[in-house]
Amino acid sequence: MAQNLSAQFQLASRSDALLGELLVKETLTERQRREREYYEEYSMLTTPAEVCFDPVLGKELRPWNPYWFLCNSVATRFRSPRQRLLDFGCGPGIYSVIFGKVGYEVFGFDISPNNIAIAQGLAQKYGLSEGVHFRVGTAERIDYPDEYFDVVVGIDILHHVDVAHSVRECLRVLKKGGTAVFKEPVAVPVFDPIRNSLLGRLVAPKSASLERHITEDERKLTVNDLRTIRALCPDMSIKRFRLFSRLDAFNKKLATNGRPSAIEKFDDRVFQLLPFMKTFGGDVVIALKRN
């Protein structure tokens, strides 16, 4: 049965372009249309980077970095190549390829057909096409069977979509005992009111921009969003990141050279010594376990 379903998904991936057009014509909301149009254009302006597999190779750990922490958490859950992982809003497929390298059978979806084409090319480049599959789709209504995936991973996706509908879909396709892990930006006291002030927006504009990679409808998760997620899945844990290291965003060289951030390490130490400061951590990794 599982082999038949895998074959069906592989066949479906060849029809992604047509499916994308059908989604646009028949089922997309106005918000989804805007997101799709944005990423169709954005994906054509960016060059796919070389994939760095360091976060899952085990040679180095960076538990103070949310992306590395998430990747390592997912890698440590791997037990068998029969495990299926869903990359929930896969974008250009970088993390799909990373988790395919770990050994998971990976399925990724994205609202942008261009992103899916890039992702397929990336999987082929690294020799992972047989075990990493892609298709066009939306987070609020994903076309996979109930209880099909052992692990679901979403990286910077929930703040682009309808949180409640998307998390419900995530839990629907997750096996009992399975885990979903999301990395997301969150709004926090003090920092975000300053960021959203007139002065803050003058220093760092928040309007939609291809250059700054900001869409019209994206917004950080709020306390209410986190409450909504917990209500849907009470077995939920949250790890906080990015206190003072939010300043790294202004250092483009540091942001692109792949080196560990000393400020991220400092943040991690502050959170350990002063737990109340976690409230001000601007990134979270959310782990949901379906019981």
Q: What is the CATH number of the domain that holds 188?
A: 3.40.50.150
Using CA atoms, how far apart are residues 76 and 74, in angstroms rounded to an integer? 5
What pTM, to 2 d.p., does this model score?
0.89
**Is residue 218, in this structure, part of any structural domain at all?**
yes
**Is residue 277, in this structure, part of any structural domain at all?**
no
**Is residue 177, in this structure, part of any structural domain at all?**
yes
Is the Cα dihedral 163, 169, 171, 173 positive or negative? negative
**Does residue 225 carry a pLDDT above 50?**
yes
**Is residue 266, in this structure, part of any structural domain at all?**
no
The residues near 130 (Cβ < 8 Å, ≥ 6 apart) are none
* Joined tokens for residue 122: 């990336």
**Is residue 279, in this structure, part of any structural domain at all?**
no
Average pLDDT, the chain: 89
Predicted local distance difference test score (pLDDT) of residue 169: 97
Taking only the tens place, the pLDDT of each residue in 239-274 is 999 999 988 776 655 444 467 889 999 999 999 999
**Is residue 16, in this structure, part of any structural domain at all?**
yes
Q: Stretch 79-90: mean pLDDT, rounded?
A: 97
Rounded to the nearest 10°, the torsion over CA 289, 153, 161, 279 is 70
Q: Stretch 195-203: mean pLDDT, rounded?
A: 87
End-to-end CA distance of the chain: 24
Percent of the chain, pLDDT > 70? 87
What range defines the domain where residue 211 resides?
2-241+284-289
Predicted local distance difference test score (pLDDT) of residue 253: 52
The residues near 45 (Cβ < 8 Å, ≥ 6 apart) are 210
CB atoms within 10 A of CB 183: 22
**Is residue 278, in this structure, part of any structural domain at all?**
no
Using CA atoms, how far apart are residues 237 and 284, in angstroms rounded to an integer? 10
**Is residue 96, in this structure, part of any structural domain at all?**
yes
Number of domains in the chain: 1
